[in-house]
Structure 1
Amino acid sequence: MKLKLYIFLLLLSTAVFSQQKQVETSIDTTKNKIGAEFKLTLKTVVSSKSKVVFPQLKNIGALEVIESYPIDTLKKNDQYELIKKYGLTQFDSGKYTIPSIKILIDKAPFLTDSLAVEVTNVKLDTLQQKMYEIKDITVVDNGLGDWWKYVLGILIILGIGAFVYWYIKKRQQKKIEEEVYKTPIEKATSLLNSLEKKELWQKGEIKEYYSELTDIARNYIEEAIQIPAMESTTSELIQGLKTASTKKKMSLSTETVENLERVLRQADLVKFAKSKPLEFEITEDRNKIQKAILTLDNAIPTEIPVEEEDLLLNEAQKQKQIQLQLKRKRNKRIITATATVVFLVTATTTYFIVTKGFNFVKDNVIGHPTKELLESDWVKSEYGNPGVLVETPKVLKRIDLTKTLPKEGLALVKEMQTFGYGSLIDNFSIMVSTLKYKQETQIDLAKSLEVTLKTIEAQGARNMIVKQEDFQTNEGITGIKGYGTFSNIDKNSKSSTKMYYEILLFTQDGGLQQIAIFHQEGDTYGNEIAERILNSVELKKASN
Structure 2
Amino acid sequence: MKVIKKYCFFLILLFQSIVFAQSLETKIDTTKNKIGAQFTLTLKVKAKPSTQVAFPKANNFGALEVIESYPIDTIKEESNYALIKKYGLTQFDSGKYVIPRIPVLIDKKPVFSDSIKVEVFSVKVDTLKQKMYDIKPIIAAERPMGDWWKYLLAVILLSGIGYLAYYLWKKNQKPKEKEITYNSPIEKATSLLVLLENKQLLEKGEVKEYYSELTDIARDYIEEAIEIPAKESTTSELIAALRVASNKKKLKLSKDTLEGLEKVLKQADLVKFAKSKPLDFEIAEDRKKIENSIVTIDKAIPVVVDENSLKWKKEQEEFLKKQERKKRLVALGGITGLVLSCVLVFTIVTKGIDYVKNGFTGHSTKELLNSDWIKSEYGEPSVVIETPKVLKRMDVSKAVPKDAIALIKDMQMFAYGSVFESFTIAVSTTKFKQETEIDLTQALNGTIQTLESQGCKNIISKQEEFSTEKGFKGIKGFGTLTVENEKLYYEILLFSQSGGLQQIMIVHQDGDENAKKISERMLNSVELKTAQ
TM range (shorter): 0.5 to 0.7
Aligned to 1:368: 361
Alignment partners' CA distance in 1, 2:155 and 2:401: 61
Aligned to 2:478: 482
* Paired residue secondary structure (2:481): strand
1:90 Cα offset (Å): 3.6
Conserved? CA contact 1:68–1:87, under 8 Å: yes
Conserved? CA contact 2:29–2:40, under 8 Å: yes
Aligned to 1:6: 13
Q: 1:198 to 1:141 in 2, by over 3 A?
A: farther
Specify which of 124, 140, 146 is matched with residue 135 of structure 1: 140
1:481 Cα offset (Å): 1.6
Specify which of 314, 327, 339 is matched with residue 335 of structure 1: 327
For residues 266-294 of structure 1, what are the alpha-carbon distances to aligned partners after superposition, in whole Å with 9 as ceiling and x for unaligned?
A: 58xx5xxxx4746x359788535422134
* Paired residue secondary structure (1:252): helix
Specify which of 483, 491, 494 is matched with residue 505 of structure 1: 494
Q: 1:538 to 1:179 in 2, by over 3 A?
A: same
Alignment partners' CA distance in 2, 1:94 and 1:506: 25
TM-score of the aligned structures, taking structure 1 as reference length: 0.65
* Identity over aligned pairs, percent: 29
Conserved? CA contact 2:11–2:447, under 8 Å: no
Alignment partners' CA distance in 1, 2:420 and 2:146: 41
1:419 Cα offset (Å): 0.8
Aligned to 1:78: none
Conserved? CA contact 1:386–1:541, under 8 Å: yes
Higher RCO (CA 8 Å, separation ≥ 6 residues): 2
Aligned CA RMSD, in angstroms, stands at: 6.0
* Paired residue secondary structure (1:467): strand
Conserved? CA contact 1:384–1:433, under 8 Å: yes
Aligned to 2:256: 252
Alignment partners' CA distance in 1, 2:118 and 2:204: 85
1:511 Cα offset (Å): 5.2
1:542 Cα offset (Å): 1.7
For residues 194-218 of structure 1, what are the alpha-carbon distances to aligned partners after superposition, in whole Å with 9 as ceiling and x for unaligned?
A: 1243467999999976554223223
Gaps of 5+ in 2: 1-5, 47-52, 74-82
Specify which of 167, 176, 180 is matched with residue 177 of structure 1: 180
1:24 Cα offset (Å): 4.6
Q: 1:235 to 1:419 in 2, by over 3 A?
A: same
Alignment partners' CA distance in 2, 1:70 and 1:177: 78
For residues 497-544 of structure 1, what are the alpha-carbon distances to aligned partners after superposition, in whole Å with 9 as ceiling and x for unaligned?
A: 98764322234578542113457x679699579737844651224244
* Paired residue secondary structure (1:446): helix
* Paired residue secondary structure (1:237): helix
Conserved? CA contact 2:60–2:459, under 8 Å: no
| AA at the equivalent of 1:326 | E
Conserved? CA contact 1:387–1:434, under 8 Å: yes
Q: 1:289 to 1:65 in 2, by over 3 A?
A: same
Alignment partners' CA distance in 2, 1:298 and 1:69: 96
| AA at the equivalent of 1:368 | T
* Paired residue secondary structure (1:434): strand
2:193 counterpart of 1:195: no
| AA at the equivalent of 2:67 | I
2:457 counterpart of 1:452: no
Query: Pairwise mapping of residues 144-543 of structure 1 onto structure 2 (< 5 A)?
Result: 152=157, 155=160, 173-174=176-177, 176-180=179-183, 184=186, 188-198=189-199, 212-220=213-221, 228=228, 230=230, 233=233, 234-242=235-243, 244=246, 248=252, 250=254, 252=256, 256-263=260-267, 265=269, 275=273, 277=275, 280-281=277-278, 287-296=284-293, 311=303, 314-353=306-345, 355-356=347-348, 363=357, 367-368=360-361, 380-390=375-385, 391=387, 392-397=389-394, 399=396, 406=403, 410=407, 416-421=410-415, 430-435=425-430, 443-458=438-453, 460-461=454-455, 463=457, 465-470=459-464, 472=466, 475=469, 479-485=475-481, 501-507=490-496, 512-517=501-506, 531=519, 534-535=522-523, 537-543=525-531
Conserved? CA contact 1:379–1:393, under 8 Å: yes
For residues 387-424 of structure 1, what are the alpha-carbon distances to aligned partners after superposition, in whole Å with 9 as ceiling and x for unaligned?
A: 312325542336458997548962xx7x6533144899
For residues 459-513 of structure 1, what are the alpha-carbon distances to aligned partners after superposition, in whole Å with 9 as ceiling and x for unaligned?
A: x33545131133646737662223332558xxxxxxx998764322234578542
| AA at the equivalent of 2:462 | Q
TM-score of the aligned structures, taking structure 2 as reference length: 0.66
Q: 1:312 to 1:165 in 2, by over 3 A?
A: farther
For residues 28-83 of structure 1, what are the alpha-carbon distances to aligned partners after superposition, in whole Å with 9 as ceiling and x for unaligned?
A: 427x54xx21424659899xxxxxx99696744143333579999xxxxxxxxx99
Conserved? CA contact 2:220–2:231, under 8 Å: no
Gaps of 5+ in 1: 47-52, 73-81, 489-495
Q: 1:161 to 1:57 in 2, by over 3 A?
A: closer
Q: 1:468 to 1:217 in 2, by over 3 A?
A: same
Specify which of 106, 111, 114 is matched with residue 113 of structure 2: 111
Alignment partners' CA distance in 2, 1:398 and 1:58: 30
| AA at the equivalent of 2:441 | A
Aligned to 1:493: none
Q: 1:162 to 1:483 in 2, by over 3 A?
A: same
Alignment partners' CA distance in 2, 1:189 and 1:417: 84
| AA at the equivalent of 1:325 | E
Q: 1:231 to 1:23 in 2, by over 3 A?
A: closer
Alignment partners' CA distance in 2, 1:407 and 1:314: 84
Q: 1:235 to 1:452 in 2, by over 3 A?
A: same
| AA at the equivalent of 1:315 | E
Conserved? CA contact 1:60–1:99, under 8 Å: no
Q: 1:117 to 1:285 in 2, by over 3 A?
A: farther
Q: 1:239 to 1:525 in 2, by over 3 A?
A: farther
Alignment partners' CA distance in 1, 2:146 and 2:514: 34
* Paired residue secondary structure (2:376): strand
Conserved? CA contact 2:426–2:505, under 8 Å: yes
1:370 Cα offset (Å): 6.7
1:27 Cα offset (Å): 3.6
* Paired residue secondary structure (1:339): helix
Conserved? CA contact 1:373–1:393, under 8 Å: no
